[in-house]
Amino acid sequence: MQVSIQEVRSRRSLRRFITFPEKLYRGCPWWVPPLISDELATLGPKNPALEFCERACYLALRDGEVVGRVAAIINHKANQL
C-alpha cells in the first residue's frame, strides 16, 4: 500500500487535517483534544499571522484514509531578524 501526499486546499481537507489526531490518539487516556474552533482559527485563512508567514498543510493518505499530517510554516518576520 502506497502513501500519497495531498496539500490541504479546501475547508473540508483542513477539517480532516485538524480532526486526524482524534483518530490517532483515540483510546489514549492522557490525550486532551484541542478545541476545533481554536485549530481552525490558527490554521485557517483568517489567521492574522498569515500576513507575514507562509503556511502549507499536507495530509498523508493511504487508500483515501488520512494516516498522517504535517504543517510547514515560514515566519518571514522572524527570519529577517
What is the structure's pLDDT at 37?
92
Cell 510547514 belongs to 72
Residue position matching grid coordinates 500576513: 51
pLDDT in tens, 21-77: 999 999 999 999 999 999 999 998 889 999 999 999 999 999 999 999 999 999 999
Angle between helices 36-43 and 11-24 (to 10 degrees): 130
What are the domain boundaries of the chain? 4-80
At residue 15 the predicted structure's pLDDT band, cuts being 50, 70 and 90, is very high
Q: Does this model's pTM top 0.85? A: yes
Q: Note whether 24 and 66 are within 8 A (CB).
A: no
* Residue indicated by cell numbers 499530517: 69
